[in-house]
Chains A and B, each alone.
Chain A
Amino acid sequence: MSKEIMEVTFRIQRFDPAKDRYPYFREYRVPVRRGMTVLEALIYIKENLDATLSFRYSCRSAVCGSCGMLINGVQRLACATQILELNTDVIEVAPMPNYPVIKDLIVDLTRLFETHRKVKPFLIRKDIKEQEEPTKEYYQTWKDIVDRILQFTYCIKCGMCLSACPTVGYDKEYLGPVALTQAFRYIADTRDEGANERIKVVDSPHGCWNCHFAASCSEVCPKGVDPALAIQLLKKVIIKRKLGLKI
Chain B
Amino acid sequence: MRESTLWLFDIIAAIILVITVLIHIFPFSTLISGIGIKEAVGINGIIERGKSLTYLVTYIIFLAAISYHPFYRLRLMLIEYFGGNSVREKIISIGCLIAAIILLVLGLYATIVLYLQ
Contacts and interface: CB of A to CB of B under 8 A. Distances in A.
Contacts of B80: 167, 170-171, 174, 206, 210
Interface of A: 167, 170-174, 203-207, 209-210, 235, 238-239, 242
Most buried by A among B4, B7, B79, B81: B4
28 contacts: A167-B80, A170-B80, A170-B81, A171-B79, A171-B83, A171-B84, A173-B83, A173-B84, A203-B2, A204-B3, A205-B3, A205-B79, A205-B89, A206-B79, A206-B80, A206-B83, A207-B3, A209-B4, A209-B76, A210-B76, A235-B4, A235-B7, A238-B4, A239-B4, A239-B8, A242-B2, A242-B4, A242-B5
A46 to B, nearest CB: 38
A173 B84 CA distance: 6
For chain B, the bracket of interface size reads 10 to 19
Interface in B62-109: 76, 79-81, 83-84, 89
Interface of B is mostly: helix
B3 A203 contact: yes
Contacts of B3: 203-205, 207, 209
Most buried by A among B7, B80, B83: B80
Contacts of A167: 80
Interface string B2-38: 1111011000000000000000000000000000000
Contacts of B79: 171, 205-206
- Nearest 3 CB-CB pairs, A to B? A171-B80, A203-B4, A238-B4
B92 to A, nearest CB: 10
Given A171-B83, A204-B3, 10 more contacts: A167-B80, A170-B81, A171-B84, A173-B84, A205-B3, A205-B79, A206-B80, A235-B7, A239-B4, A242-B2
A208 B78 CA distance: 16
A238 B11 CA distance: 14
Contacts of B5: 242
A119 to B, nearest CB: 15
A62 B56 CA distance: 62
Contacts of B8: 239, 242
Contacts of A235: 4, 7
A181 to B, nearest CB: 18
Contacts of A238: 4
Contacts of B84: 171-173
A172 B89 CA distance: 13
A209 B5 CA distance: 11
Contacts of A170: 80-81
Nearest to A210: B80
A34 B83 CA distance: 49
A174 B89 CA distance: 14
